[in-house]
Structure 1
Amino acid sequence: NIVAFDESPKKEGLLYVGTDDGLIQISEDMGKSWKKQNSVAGVPETTYVSCLKASLHDENVVYVSFENHKNNDFKPYILKSTNKGGSWTSIVGNLPDGEVIWNIAEDHENPDLLFIGTEHGLYFTIDNGVNWTKLSAGLPNIAIRDIDIQRRENDLVLASYGRGFYVLDDFSALRDLKKIEDKEDYIFPIRPSLMYNQSSPFGWRKKGHFGDNFYTADNPPVGAVFTYYVAEGMQTPKQIRKKEEAKKIKANEDIPYPSFEEFTKEDNALKPYILFTIRDEQGKVVRKLKASASAGMKRIVWDFRYPATGAIRKNGGKNTFANEGGGLPVMPGNYTVEMAKVVGDQITPIGNKQSFITRSLYNQRLAADPATQKLKLEMQELNRIFSGVNQEFSLLKKQTGLVKLAIKATPNSTLEMMKQALEVEQKLDSLNTVLYGNKSLSKRYKASPPSLNSRLSNAIYNSWGTHEPPTQTQIDDFKIVQNHMDQIQQDLKNIKADLRKLDTELDKIKAAYTPGRL
């Protein structure tokens, strides 16, 4: 029975056929005549031909794989012919026993880059089979029965046995692996990055309101993908100690207990990391991203956005805006990215600078207009200021409430102190109406003028979901908020000064502590 078939893409009519009893038959005249090979050196007779793959680059080259597990033989068999199947040479290389081979794929650009699907995953070689490396990040230990390549995007598509499909997005970095053979840090070439906004077909992110029983697969993250290599990882003192202790355990040696000075040094040590700096055509820093300091080949995605300008908050000890949650989108154009390693307070550039281009999907919208970019940067700055105003307002409101409680709880406080506190509270209420609107009217469904916060939301946050220029309404709202900011900031400073005066009076009567008085 015929179980493997392929036609040379370089020569019409050059056909290869493999059977389930180990035969290979070759025709060079579209099947009018055939040459039969009853056996291949190094392969047991009647071994199942699992795949035949004619080269995309050379009509004389063809690859074949066999699998013999039904005869309790789990060795990998993969061979190459450079004379249209006239003779065969094994390219098993360093493949381990037990890796039955099911499929072969050849890169459409680099003839030395091959992929094979095996019983336990996926392997690739960049030297035509001399050395094989397993690709396992994100891929379970499963049989890969079919492989295909999406040539436009350089995506590797895998079909597994019983575990669905897997896609390796843009494997083009594998073509340049020889550039890191000298063990230097390196950022691989970056393909043109398409800017677009993801749709929400189910009303919200991912599954929307459909629940867990509704299956959806994650899309690749939107952004410029940086594939990079770190030759030597950086470790904390604790990680170094643990590594040394593991060696001693393996050697059956005693492990000394660290001193308290060593523990203190470990506890106070800053975790090293890799810092990526993205710049525009003028060399201005657009964004900085942090990544793990571990060694190896990795990826990080920049979401085409400026850094978040909202006030910094802590969430579970982690900066919410560390890498994710960026600000407004940047303009399409040319950018560069560089790497540096950060250890303690030392920043050391590593690797190379890599240039890349971003452009709108289909090139239909938003040319790189300097005026639009300038306006969006001004919006970013206004968002930074307004976010600070929000946080300062909330802090002053909280402090005022605590000051009132302290006045009530202190026996020798005066009515004048409470009067001053109520005046501060009244000023904050008036400012609250300007910033956030009249709640008394809104909860009774009475129309009221838009608040500065709602205008800012319309002007800035609605721009986050588009790469198009702001509308005239958004520009008008932006200018209205911008014109109010100086007065709002001055009002907050005056209220803060009034609170500090009250703090002085509370100290005199030895009132209970309130935040801001120390």
Structure 2
Amino acid sequence: YYSRIYADTQDEEVVYVMNVRYHRSTDGGKTFKPYSAPHGDHHDLWIAPEDNQRMIIGDDGGAQISFDRGENWSTYHNQPTAQFYRLTTDNHFPYRIYSAQQDNSTVRILHRTESGTISERDWESTAGGESAHIAVDPMDDEIVYGGSYGGFLTRKNHRTGESQAVNVWPDNPMGHGAEGMKYRFQWNFPIFFSPHDPKKLYAASNHLHVTYNGGQSWELISPDLTRNDSTRLTPSGGPITKDNTGVEYYCTIFAATESPYEEGLLWTGSDDGLVHLSRDGGKSWKNVTPPNMPEWMMINSIEPDPFTPGGAYIAGARYKMGDFRPYLYKTKDYGQNWQLIVNGIEKEHFTRVVRADPQRQGLLYAGTETGMYLSFDDGASWSAFQLNLPIVPVTDLAVKNDNLIAATQGRGIWIIDDLTPLHQLNEQVEKSGLFLYQPADSYRIDGAQNPKAKNAGMNHPGGVAAYYYIKNMPEDTSTLITLSFHEEDGQLIREFSTQAKEKENKLEFKEGANRFVWDMRYPKGKDFEGMVLWWAGLNGPKAKPGSYRIKLTMGSEEMEQPFRIVKDPRSRSTEEDLQAQFTFMLEVNKKVSEAHQAIVDIREVRKQLQPFTSRWKEDDDKKELLAKAQAIDSVMTIVENELYQAKNQSSQDPLNYPIKLTNKLAHLNSLTGIGDFRPTEQAEQARQALTKEVDEQLAVFYQLKKVDIPAFNAMVKEAAVDVILLRETDE
């Protein structure tokens, strides 16, 4: 299917043929020599019309470039071009996504991390091969089952790294047609665990099989659930060469599932257009194929209805027949009646998958060969739901913890991190001038997004994601818009506004839908211009797990919603531990802020003194004032230099000039903010000792403010010192 011939753009004797490797002839096709690019299975080749040294080759790894006629090629590790098949997830925290990628490994990858990206260190290969369905043991996330073509099925123990072949029937069918096989396994055959019995693993050939012991033995629980048309089971290819890799096998089960909502309710769909149902765990089966569905439909996915007993949705495709129309059907009565539900989907966007949102009845997601669609009315109408997703085949979808995960054929895996706005979207939102969605529960863990990373995935945003809608931009550009976060009793934590002077408190918005992510932190400690600290942060503490409120205002309009911050389920810390950490960091920041404010005040006093003291140096009448000013400045300098190392002007200066009290105290803030733990006893002792030293210096400065500076001001007033001096001029 990918063996294509390309003629050189300048040399009529040079011909290229694409295959697993690619071949080049320099004598018009009489002889060929094989060549390799960084990946295999080459599909396409482009040769620059004006320069036949410049080429781009496309294969199952992506695209590579050559500037020397294929002698050297660029890498494919710089592009998200993975071709993924089916999706599943586990119950690990954070949960991991599992999928198989064409002509590459299976992978499991964290859906979020506590850094700024999702990088290579966050994924690893898992069970199965390139075409796998994957199933994770519901009782043990480290035990994974993965399939591949030829009926290959492995069980992988991620703790030990051991793998075991547990094929339903260990026959190697390579090179054979399907007619003589005991069981016909598709290239992409389904495997899945029962949602009601964690020891029950299913696998589908043209029959449905089950194991209760991890694949040590298998039971047959169905008859042949396909058309079993012998005319379509013969070897593929010919008459010169045949092509029997397993992907060509027909009359196989292509989609299967057990309803999470009704034990024993099994659905299967075949690649030759049959839908079957069992309501007794496979003891008896019924053909419930939609009567008006075109023949030979490949049933690509089956989705049980979360809200209707006996309800289900199926996605089918007939592109192999030259029919590119979408086919989605739904039933509400165990397949007795079916309804086609494709209104709004482009007529040539053939469908691969449909999923139902378990949180909102009637909310459906559909993946097609040309992107995504969304329905709020149970499929009665569909709208494009592309957002920033590339126009690319969507091969599978999964809904997990209010996230929507999409597997694509050529652009890797994509996620919508928060579906809650779709759960809440209604006519009221559209009619409102201002609307604030209730935020989803947010885990109290770190994380950030780095949109500039070119070699890593976009991470889940760390913090509380707030979504709000502004129908029209305010006509009065001075209208104040604020988004504020409060404790449950209403006490303000942080406020962000369109008129904030500090960048970190600035609220940016646009007409329509908006998103803002609060990092869950209380206000940071005070800094000052030119401040240099070494391994010391002024971050405020994270909000503790619990209930909070968010408020949105625009002029006189206001809307408020509750939300929750949830403890990291991996953390062993108690509520008391987190309270101790919170209080410690608040107290440290409060004291550091007080000291830094004193430094700002000292520098302001010095700035005001300097013009006068520079003039008084040569004035004998001002000696007493000068001495008093110098004494004040001398004491302030001592205080400032004890609180802060003023010699540090750049980030590396602390290597030469030792840090002082506020740096040391702020360092405790950084140390204690690591993880979710109670401060150590020694950290508390250090805080008390440093606070005592800071307070001693502040007491000296406060004495200056209370006594010496007012006394100096009185002396200046009594001496009637001119504030503004003008140069004398001749009249």
Q: In the aligned structure 2, how far is the partner of 1:59 from the partner of 1:3?
A: 23
Q: In the aligned structure 2, how far is the partner of 1:503 from the partner of 1:69?
A: 96
SS in 1 for 2:567: strand
Contact 1:306 1:328 in 2 (8 A): yes
SS in 2 for 1:475: helix
Q: In structure 1, which of residues 177, 188, 198 is the aligned counterpart of residue 425 of structure 2? A: 177
Contact 1:183 1:231 in 2 (8 A): no
Is 1:287 the counterpart of 2:287 in the alignment? no
Contact 1:360 1:366 in 2 (8 A): no
Contact 2:405 2:416 in 1 (8 A): yes
**Consecutive unaligned residues in structure 1, runs of 5 or more:** 199-204, 238-268, 315-324, 512-518
Most deviating of 354-363 and 328-337:
354-363
Q: In the aligned structure 2, how far is the partner of 1:446 from the partner of 1:149?
A: 55
Q: In structure 2, which of residues 544, 562, 567 is the aligned counterpart of residue 359 of structure 1? A: 567
SS in 2 for 1:454: helix
Change (3 A) 1:453 1:79: same
Most deviating of 415-424 and 385-394:
415-424
Q: In the aligned structure 2, how far is the partner of 1:490 from the partner of 1:301?
A: 43
Partner of 2:326: 76
Please report how far the alpha carbon of residue 157 of structure 1 lies from its aligned counterpart in structure 2 after TM superposition: 1.5
TM-score (norm 1): 0.68
Please report how far the alpha carbon of residue 399 of structure 1 lies from its aligned counterpart in structure 2 after TM superposition: 7.0
Partner of 1:88: 338
Cα distance per residue 1:422-464 (max 9 Å; x no partner): 7776555433421225969xx999998x732233323444444
Matched letter for residue 411 of structure 2 = R
Partner of 2:275: 25
SS in 2 for 1:388: helix
Cα distance per residue 1:63-110 (max 9 Å; x no partner): 222334566654432111233333321222333444332111122344
Is 1:382 the counterpart of 2:603 in the alignment? no
More helix by share: 1
Q: In the aligned structure 2, how far is the partner of 1:12 from the partner of 1:89?
A: 24
Partner of 2:303: 53
Partner of 2:542: 329
Q: In the aligned structure 2, how far is the partner of 1:271 from the partner of 1:284?
A: 24
Partner of 1:485: 698
Name the Cα RMSD after superposition. 4.5
Q: In the aligned structure 1, how far is the partner of 2:604 from the partner of 2:634?
A: 15
Partner of 1:113: 363
Please report how far the alpha carbon of residue 146 of structure 1 lies from its aligned counterpart in structure 2 after TM superposition: 0.9
SS in 1 for 2:431: coil
For residues 55-454 of structure 1, the aligned pairs below 5 Å read 55-69=305-319, 73-150=323-400, 153-178=401-426, 180=428, 183-184=431-432, 185-197=434-446, 215-226=455-466, 228-230=467-469, 232-235=471-474, 269-270=477-478, 273=481, 275-290=482-497, 291-311=507-527, 327-341=540-554, 346-350=555-559, 352-362=560-570, 364-367=572-575, 376-394=585-603, 414=618, 426-427=634-635, 429-437=637-645, 451-454=660-663
Please report how far the alpha carbon of residue 340 of structure 1 lies from its aligned counterpart in structure 2 after TM superposition: 1.2
SS in 1 for 2:639: helix
Change (3 A) 1:439 1:172: closer
Matched letter for residue 354 of structure 1 = P
Matched letter for residue 223 of structure 1 = G
Please report how far the alpha carbon of residue 159 of structure 1 lies from its aligned counterpart in structure 2 after TM superposition: 0.9
Contact 1:455 1:481 in 2 (8 A): no
Please report how far the alpha carbon of residue 147 of structure 1 lies from its aligned counterpart in structure 2 after TM superposition: 0.8
Q: In the aligned structure 1, how far is the partner of 2:510 from the partner of 2:581?
A: 40
Cα distance per residue 1:209-240 (max 9 Å; x no partner): xx978x433432332333x3425232456xxx
Q: In the aligned structure 1, how far is the partner of 2:445 from the partner of 2:487?
A: 19
**Consecutive unaligned residues in structure 2, runs of 5 or more:** 1-249, 498-506, 531-537
SS in 2 for 1:386: helix
Change (3 A) 1:347 1:6: same
Change (3 A) 1:475 1:103: farther
Cα distance per residue 1:271-326 (max 9 Å; x no partner): 753x2222223321112234444354443322221123425779xxxxxxxxxx95
SS in 1 for 2:484: strand
Change (3 A) 1:438 1:295: closer
Higher relative contact order (CA 8 A, sep 6+): 1
Change (3 A) 1:133 1:44: same
Cα distance per residue 1:124-176 (max 9 Å; x no partner): 323211233444444333322111122xx332221112111112224244333
Change (3 A) 1:212 1:127: closer
Partner of 2:664: 455
Partner of 1:201: none
SS in 2 for 1:390: helix
Q: In the aligned structure 2, how far is the partner of 1:141 from the partner of 1:452?
A: 57
Q: In the aligned structure 1, how far is the partner of 2:411 from the partner of 2:303?
A: 24
Q: In the aligned structure 1, how far is the partner of 2:328 from the partner of 2:563?
A: 39
Change (3 A) 1:413 1:347: farther
Contact 1:146 1:159 in 2 (8 A): yes
Q: In the aligned structure 2, how far is the partner of 1:312 from the partner of 1:18?
A: 69
SS in 2 for 1:330: coil
Cα distance per residue 1:32-75 (max 9 Å; x no partner): 666374x753x555454433333345452222223345666544
Q: In the aligned structure 2, how far is the partner of 1:180 from the partner of 1:451?
A: 57
SS in 1 for 2:515: strand
Contact 1:195 1:359 in 2 (8 A): yes
Change (3 A) 1:308 1:446: closer
Contact 2:352 2:369 in 1 (8 A): yes
Q: In structure 2, which of residues 724, 727, 731 is the aligned counterpart of residue 507 of structure 1? A: 724
Contact 1:114 1:128 in 2 (8 A): yes
Q: In the aligned structure 2, how far is the partner of 1:489 from the partner of 1:358?
A: 42
Q: In the aligned structure 2, how far is the partner of 1:365 from the partner of 1:131?
A: 48
Matched letter for residue 127 of structure 1 = D
Contact 1:311 1:391 in 2 (8 A): no
Contact 1:52 1:104 in 2 (8 A): yes
TM-score (norm 2): 0.51
Partner of 1:258: none
Matched letter for residue 463 of structure 2 = G
Partner of 1:265: none
Change (3 A) 1:162 1:392: farther
Structure with the greater alpha carbon radius of gyration = 2
Q: In the aligned structure 1, how far is the partner of 2:360 from the partner of 2:654?
A: 70
Q: In the aligned structure 1, how far is the partner of 2:657 from the partner of 2:353?
A: 68
Q: In the aligned structure 1, how far is the partner of 2:526 from the partner of 2:654?
A: 31
Change (3 A) 1:378 1:154: same
Percent identity for Structure 1 against Structure 2: 18
